[in-house]
Structure 1
Amino acid sequence: MADYGMLIDYDWCTGCHTCETACQMEHNLPPDQFGIKVTEVGPYQYGDRKWVLINMPIPTDQCNFCVERIAQGKLPTCMHHCQARCLEVGLIDELQSKLSAKKKQVLFHNQG
Protein backbone atom coordinates (compact mmCIF):
# COMPACT_ATOMS: atom_id res chain seq x y z
CA MET A 1 0.00 0.00 0.00
CA ALA A 2 1.27 3.47 -0.87
CA ASP A 3 2.23 5.84 1.93
CA TYR A 4 -0.41 8.60 1.96
CA GLY A 5 -0.81 11.79 3.94
CA MET A 6 -3.03 14.87 4.12
CA LEU A 7 -1.71 18.40 3.74
CA ILE A 8 -3.99 21.03 5.27
CA ASP A 9 -3.66 24.76 4.59
CA TYR A 10 -5.52 25.99 7.66
CA ASP A 11 -5.09 29.64 6.67
CA TRP A 12 -7.89 29.03 4.13
CA CYS A 13 -10.25 26.72 6.02
CA THR A 14 -13.56 28.52 6.59
CA GLY A 15 -14.94 26.02 9.10
CA CYS A 16 -17.83 24.97 6.84
CA HIS A 17 -17.63 21.32 8.05
CA THR A 18 -18.35 20.01 4.53
CA CYS A 19 -15.38 17.63 4.79
CA GLU A 20 -16.88 16.13 7.98
CA THR A 21 -20.30 15.57 6.44
CA ALA A 22 -18.95 14.18 3.18
CA CYS A 23 -16.73 11.72 5.07
CA GLN A 24 -19.55 10.58 7.34
CA MET A 25 -21.79 9.95 4.35
CA GLU A 26 -19.08 8.22 2.28
CA HIS A 27 -18.17 5.83 5.10
CA ASN A 28 -21.62 5.47 6.73
CA LEU A 29 -20.35 6.78 10.07
CA PRO A 30 -22.81 7.50 12.89
CA PRO A 31 -23.42 11.16 13.84
CA ASP A 32 -20.95 11.04 16.74
CA GLN A 33 -18.02 9.59 14.72
CA PHE A 34 -15.76 11.29 12.24
CA GLY A 35 -13.04 10.46 9.76
CA ILE A 36 -12.14 14.15 9.81
CA LYS A 37 -13.26 16.74 12.35
CA VAL A 38 -13.00 20.54 12.12
CA THR A 39 -11.94 22.20 15.35
CA GLU A 40 -12.04 25.93 16.05
CA VAL A 41 -9.74 28.19 18.04
CA GLY A 42 -11.04 31.69 18.84
CA PRO A 43 -12.10 34.17 17.98
CA TYR A 44 -10.18 36.22 20.47
CA GLN A 45 -8.24 39.45 20.33
CA TYR A 46 -4.61 39.89 21.29
CA GLY A 47 -2.61 43.06 21.09
CA ASP A 48 -4.23 46.24 19.88
CA ARG A 49 -5.63 45.12 16.53
CA LYS A 50 -4.90 41.43 16.07
CA TRP A 51 -7.42 38.63 16.17
CA VAL A 52 -7.12 34.85 16.18
CA LEU A 53 -9.65 32.60 14.47
CA ILE A 54 -8.40 29.25 13.27
CA ASN A 55 -10.42 26.43 11.76
CA MET A 56 -8.43 23.22 11.59
CA PRO A 57 -9.62 20.01 9.93
CA ILE A 58 -8.04 17.06 11.75
CA PRO A 59 -8.13 13.51 10.39
CA THR A 60 -9.02 10.90 13.02
CA ASP A 61 -7.89 7.29 13.28
CA GLN A 62 -10.95 6.39 11.19
CA CYS A 63 -9.48 8.25 8.19
CA ASN A 64 -7.81 6.01 5.62
CA PHE A 65 -7.37 8.86 3.10
CA CYS A 66 -10.07 7.19 0.96
CA VAL A 67 -7.59 4.78 -0.58
CA GLU A 68 -10.50 2.96 -2.28
CA ARG A 69 -11.52 6.17 -4.08
CA ILE A 70 -7.92 6.94 -5.01
CA ALA A 71 -7.58 3.42 -6.50
CA GLN A 72 -10.62 4.22 -8.67
CA GLY A 73 -9.02 7.46 -9.89
CA LYS A 74 -11.26 9.63 -7.69
CA LEU A 75 -10.35 12.29 -5.15
CA PRO A 76 -10.80 11.48 -1.46
CA THR A 77 -14.29 12.60 -0.50
CA CYS A 78 -13.14 15.34 1.93
CA MET A 79 -10.85 16.81 -0.72
CA HIS A 80 -13.52 16.54 -3.40
CA HIS A 81 -16.09 18.43 -1.31
CA CYS A 82 -13.79 21.00 0.37
CA GLN A 83 -15.16 24.39 -0.68
CA ALA A 84 -11.98 26.26 0.29
CA ARG A 85 -9.70 23.76 -1.47
CA CYS A 86 -7.48 23.66 1.60
CA LEU A 87 -7.10 19.86 1.79
CA GLU A 88 -4.73 17.80 -0.32
CA VAL A 89 -4.31 14.04 -0.04
CA GLY A 90 -1.39 12.40 -1.76
CA LEU A 91 1.85 10.54 -1.38
CA ILE A 92 3.60 11.65 1.79
CA ASP A 93 6.92 12.44 0.07
CA GLU A 94 5.23 14.74 -2.46
CA LEU A 95 3.21 16.53 0.21
CA GLN A 96 6.26 16.95 2.45
CA SER A 97 8.01 18.92 -0.29
CA LYS A 98 5.14 21.46 -0.29
CA LEU A 99 5.35 22.28 3.43
CA SER A 100 7.87 25.10 3.07
CA ALA A 101 5.74 26.94 0.49
CA LYS A 102 3.36 28.44 3.06
CA LYS A 103 3.40 29.20 6.76
CA LYS A 104 0.05 27.87 8.02
CA GLN A 105 0.08 24.26 6.89
CA VAL A 106 0.17 20.92 8.66
CA LEU A 107 0.89 17.46 7.30
CA PHE A 108 -0.90 14.44 8.73
CA HIS A 109 0.53 10.99 8.15
CA ASN A 110 -1.32 7.80 8.99
CA GLN A 111 1.02 4.84 9.24
CA GLY A 112 -1.79 2.52 10.23
Structure 2
Amino acid sequence: MSKYVLLQEAKKCIGCHACEVACKANKELPPGPRLCQVMEVGPRMTGDLARSSHIFMPCYHCEKPWCIPACPTGAMQRRESDGIVYVDESLCVGCKACISACPWGAPQWYKAARKGKVVKCDYCMDRIDQGLQPACVTVCITGCLHFGEANEIEPVRRQHYAKTLAAAELGD
Protein backbone atom coordinates (compact mmCIF):
# COMPACT_ATOMS: atom_id res chain seq x y z
CA MET A 1 0.00 0.00 0.00
CA SER A 2 1.15 3.51 -0.67
CA LYS A 3 2.52 5.38 2.31
CA TYR A 4 0.58 8.40 1.08
CA VAL A 5 -3.09 9.21 0.67
CA LEU A 6 -4.77 11.89 -1.41
CA LEU A 7 -8.20 12.65 0.02
CA GLN A 8 -10.95 14.78 -1.46
CA GLU A 9 -13.83 16.31 0.47
CA ALA A 10 -16.28 16.16 -2.43
CA LYS A 11 -18.80 18.53 -0.87
CA LYS A 12 -16.20 21.30 -0.86
CA CYS A 13 -15.19 20.84 -4.52
CA ILE A 14 -16.64 23.43 -6.90
CA GLY A 15 -15.28 21.86 -10.07
CA CYS A 16 -12.89 24.68 -10.92
CA HIS A 17 -10.29 22.26 -12.41
CA ALA A 18 -7.39 24.24 -10.90
CA CYS A 19 -5.94 20.91 -9.75
CA GLU A 20 -5.90 19.60 -13.32
CA VAL A 21 -4.24 22.78 -14.61
CA ALA A 22 -1.58 22.71 -11.86
CA CYS A 23 -0.86 19.06 -12.60
CA LYS A 24 -0.42 19.75 -16.31
CA ALA A 25 1.83 22.73 -15.57
CA ASN A 26 3.98 20.72 -13.14
CA LYS A 27 4.39 17.87 -15.64
CA GLU A 28 4.59 20.19 -18.68
CA LEU A 29 1.72 18.41 -20.43
CA PRO A 30 -0.29 19.80 -23.34
CA PRO A 31 -4.04 19.29 -23.82
CA GLY A 32 -4.83 15.60 -23.97
CA PRO A 33 -3.48 13.51 -21.10
CA ARG A 34 -5.08 14.29 -17.74
CA LEU A 35 -3.16 12.80 -14.82
CA CYS A 36 -5.90 13.80 -12.44
CA GLN A 37 -9.45 14.49 -13.48
CA VAL A 38 -12.40 16.26 -11.92
CA MET A 39 -15.48 14.32 -12.96
CA GLU A 40 -18.90 15.96 -12.76
CA VAL A 41 -21.69 13.81 -11.35
CA GLY A 42 -25.15 15.10 -12.08
CA PRO A 43 -26.93 17.35 -12.24
CA ARG A 44 -29.57 15.85 -10.01
CA MET A 45 -32.53 17.48 -8.36
CA THR A 46 -32.23 18.31 -4.68
CA GLY A 47 -35.59 19.72 -3.77
CA ASP A 48 -36.26 22.34 -6.42
CA LEU A 49 -32.58 22.90 -7.26
CA ALA A 50 -30.35 21.14 -9.76
CA ARG A 51 -27.03 20.20 -8.16
CA SER A 52 -23.84 18.57 -9.36
CA SER A 53 -21.01 16.96 -7.46
CA HIS A 54 -17.38 16.85 -8.48
CA ILE A 55 -15.18 13.83 -7.86
CA PHE A 56 -11.39 14.08 -8.01
CA MET A 57 -9.83 11.11 -9.80
CA PRO A 58 -6.04 10.72 -9.49
CA CYS A 59 -4.10 7.47 -9.62
CA TYR A 60 -4.88 5.49 -6.48
CA HIS A 61 -1.42 3.88 -6.21
CA CYS A 62 -3.06 0.53 -5.56
CA GLU A 63 -1.65 -1.99 -3.14
CA LYS A 64 -1.60 -4.53 -5.99
CA PRO A 65 -1.62 -2.33 -9.11
CA TRP A 66 -2.76 -4.09 -12.26
CA CYS A 67 -0.64 -1.80 -14.42
CA ILE A 68 2.70 -3.09 -13.11
CA PRO A 69 2.40 -6.77 -14.10
CA ALA A 70 0.74 -5.73 -17.38
CA CYS A 71 3.81 -3.74 -18.44
CA PRO A 72 6.12 -5.98 -20.52
CA THR A 73 9.18 -3.72 -20.19
CA GLY A 74 9.12 -2.92 -16.48
CA ALA A 75 8.45 0.76 -17.16
CA MET A 76 5.54 0.78 -14.71
CA GLN A 77 7.17 0.64 -11.29
CA ARG A 78 6.49 1.07 -7.59
CA ARG A 79 8.89 2.89 -5.29
CA GLU A 80 9.84 0.63 -2.40
CA SER A 81 10.26 3.55 0.00
CA ASP A 82 6.67 4.81 -0.21
CA GLY A 83 4.63 2.71 -2.64
CA ILE A 84 4.21 5.41 -5.28
CA VAL A 85 3.46 3.87 -8.68
CA TYR A 86 5.20 5.69 -11.53
CA VAL A 87 6.37 5.32 -15.13
CA ASP A 88 10.07 5.02 -15.90
CA GLU A 89 9.84 6.87 -19.20
CA SER A 90 13.17 5.49 -20.44
CA LEU A 91 11.70 1.95 -20.39
CA CYS A 92 8.26 2.75 -21.83
CA VAL A 93 7.79 1.57 -25.42
CA GLY A 94 4.24 2.86 -25.71
CA CYS A 95 2.48 -0.52 -25.93
CA LYS A 96 -0.45 0.78 -23.80
CA ALA A 97 -0.80 -2.50 -21.86
CA CYS A 98 -0.91 -0.55 -18.58
CA ILE A 99 -3.70 1.65 -19.92
CA SER A 100 -5.78 -1.43 -20.71
CA ALA A 101 -5.03 -3.00 -17.33
CA CYS A 102 -5.95 -0.05 -15.07
CA PRO A 103 -9.62 -0.03 -14.05
CA TRP A 104 -9.38 3.64 -13.05
CA GLY A 105 -7.93 5.05 -16.28
CA ALA A 106 -4.89 6.46 -14.48
CA PRO A 107 -2.24 5.78 -17.13
CA GLN A 108 -2.73 8.19 -20.02
CA TRP A 109 -1.41 8.17 -23.57
CA TYR A 110 0.90 11.02 -24.49
CA LYS A 111 1.54 10.87 -28.21
CA ALA A 112 3.09 14.29 -28.77
CA ALA A 113 6.49 15.49 -27.56
CA ARG A 114 7.41 12.35 -25.66
CA LYS A 115 7.12 10.23 -28.82
CA GLY A 116 4.35 7.89 -27.76
CA LYS A 117 4.78 7.21 -24.07
CA VAL A 118 2.46 6.63 -21.15
CA VAL A 119 2.22 9.18 -18.33
CA LYS A 120 0.35 8.97 -15.03
CA CYS A 121 -0.11 10.62 -11.67
CA ASP A 122 2.89 9.97 -9.43
CA TYR A 123 1.71 12.24 -6.60
CA CYS A 124 4.31 14.71 -7.94
CA MET A 125 7.03 12.56 -6.40
CA ASP A 126 9.63 15.12 -7.44
CA ARG A 127 7.86 17.61 -5.17
CA ILE A 128 7.32 15.08 -2.36
CA ASP A 129 11.05 14.32 -2.38
CA GLN A 130 11.60 18.04 -1.70
CA GLY A 131 9.13 18.03 1.21
CA LEU A 132 6.40 19.73 -0.84
CA GLN A 133 2.77 18.81 -1.49
CA PRO A 134 1.55 17.61 -4.90
CA ALA A 135 0.78 20.49 -7.27
CA CYS A 136 -2.96 19.71 -7.29
CA VAL A 137 -3.22 20.09 -3.51
CA THR A 138 -1.34 23.41 -3.39
CA VAL A 139 -3.77 25.18 -5.74
CA CYS A 140 -7.08 23.84 -4.42
CA ILE A 141 -8.97 27.04 -3.64
CA THR A 142 -11.59 25.38 -1.44
CA GLY A 143 -9.12 23.20 0.46
CA CYS A 144 -10.99 20.05 -0.48
CA LEU A 145 -7.79 18.13 -1.32
CA HIS A 146 -5.66 16.74 1.49
CA PHE A 147 -2.38 14.88 1.07
CA GLY A 148 -0.13 13.19 3.53
CA GLU A 149 0.90 9.95 5.10
CA ALA A 150 -2.00 7.56 5.65
CA ASN A 151 -1.79 7.80 9.45
CA GLU A 152 -1.99 11.63 9.23
CA ILE A 153 -4.88 11.72 6.76
CA GLU A 154 -7.02 9.07 8.47
CA PRO A 155 -8.21 11.48 11.22
CA VAL A 156 -9.12 14.05 8.53
CA ARG A 157 -11.12 11.40 6.66
CA ARG A 158 -12.92 10.30 9.85
CA GLN A 159 -13.74 13.89 10.79
CA HIS A 160 -15.10 14.53 7.29
CA TYR A 161 -17.20 11.36 7.46
CA ALA A 162 -18.58 12.30 10.90
CA LYS A 163 -19.58 15.76 9.62
CA THR A 164 -21.28 14.18 6.61
CA LEU A 165 -23.26 11.82 8.84
CA ALA A 166 -24.25 14.62 11.22
CA ALA A 167 -25.42 16.77 8.30
CA ALA A 168 -27.47 13.87 6.92
CA GLU A 169 -29.14 13.35 10.28
CA LEU A 170 -30.02 17.06 10.46
CA GLY A 171 -31.42 16.96 6.94
CA ASP A 172 -28.76 19.15 5.24
Give 1:96 shift. 2.2
Aligned residue for 2:12, secondary structure, equals: coil
Please name the residue that 2:77 is paired with.
none
* Higher share in helix: 2
Give 1:75 shift. 2.0
Between 1:70-79 and 1:4-13, the stretch displaced more is 70-79
Identity %: 31
1:71 aligned residue (109, 118, 129): 129
- Residue type matched to 1:31 in 2? P
Between 1:69-78 and 1:82-91, the stretch displaced more is 69-78
CA contact under 8 A between 1:38 and 1:56: conserved in structure 2?
yes
- Residue type matched to 1:44 in 2? R
Give 1:57 shift. 1.3
Please name the residue that 2:71 is paired with.
none
* Higher share in strand: 1
Matched, 1:102 2:101: no
Q: TM-score, normalised by structure 1?
A: 0.79
Give 1:50 shift. 6.0
Query: Any residues of structure 2 matched to 1:1-112 within 5 Å, and which?
Result: 3-46=3-46, 48-49=47-48, 51-60=50-59, 61=106, 62-103=120-161
Q: Deviations over 1:26-50 (max 9, x none)?
A: 112231111210000122215x446
CA contact under 8 A between 1:65 and 1:89: conserved in structure 2?
no
CA contact under 8 A between 1:5 and 1:65: conserved in structure 2?
no
Cα distance in structure 2, aligned partners of 1:96 and 1:50: 33
Cα distance in structure 2, aligned partners of 1:94 and 1:69: 18
CA contact under 8 A between 1:24 and 1:30: conserved in structure 2?
yes
Give 1:72 shift. 1.3
Q: TM-score, normalised by structure 2?
A: 0.53
- Residue type matched to 1:11 in 2? K
Cα distance in structure 1, aligned partners of 2:160 and 2:4: 20
Aligned residue for 1:11, secondary structure, equals: helix
Give 1:97 shift. 2.9
Structure 2 stretches lacking a partner, 5+ long: 60-105, 107-119, 165-172
Runs (4+) of structure 1 moved beyond 2 Å? 48-52
